[in-house]
Amino acid sequence: MKRIFPISLTLTGLLTASLVTFIALALIGIKQAVAHTYHSHKPVKPVTMTAGQMSELVNQSTRPDFNEQDLAPVMATLEKLAEADRITHQERLVYARLLQHQHKFADALAELDTLLAEHPDQPSALLLQANVQLNQGQPALARQTCLQLMGKTSELVMATCLLEANMQLSPSTQYYSQLHNISEKFPAESPQIALWVNEVLADLALFANKPATAIKHIEQQPDSEWPISSWVAWSKAKLALQQGNDIVARLAPEIANNPVPNDSALLYLALAEQQTGEGEKWTTAMAQRVFIREQRGDTTHAAEVALYYLHLAAEPQQALHWANINWQQAKSFNDEQLLSKIRQLAAAEG
Rounded-to-integer distance, Cα 9 and Cα 203, Å: 9
Structural domain spans, the chain = 14-349
pLDDT digits (tens, 9 = 90+) for 89-117: 888 988 988 888 778 899 999 999 999 99
Q: Is the dihedral of CA 224, 308, 196, 130 positive or negative?
A: negative
Mean pLDDT to the nearest integer, 226-249: 96
* Residue 107 to residue 19: CA distance in whole angstroms: 20
Measured from the Cβ of residue 87, the count of other Cβ atoms closer than 10 Å reads 22
- ∠ CA(312), CA(63), CA(287), 5° rounding? 20
pLDDT of residue 1: 42
Residues recorded for the chain? 350
**CA angle 225-104-285, nearest 5°?**
55
Give tens-digit pLDDT for 15-59.
444 455 455 544 544 333 333 333 444 445 556 777 777 767 766
Question: Rounded CA gap, 106 and 103, in Å?
Answer: 9
111, burial (CB in 10 Å: exposed 0-12, middle 13-18, buried 19+)? buried
Q: CA–CA separation, 49 vs 84, rounded Å?
A: 16
CATH topology of domain 14-349: 1.25.40
Closest residue by Cα to residue 132 from 160, 175, 102: 102
Give pLDDT, residue 5. Answer: 53
Q: What is the pLDDT of residues 191-233, one digit of tens each?
A: 989 999 999 999 999 999 999 999 999 999 999 999 999 999 9
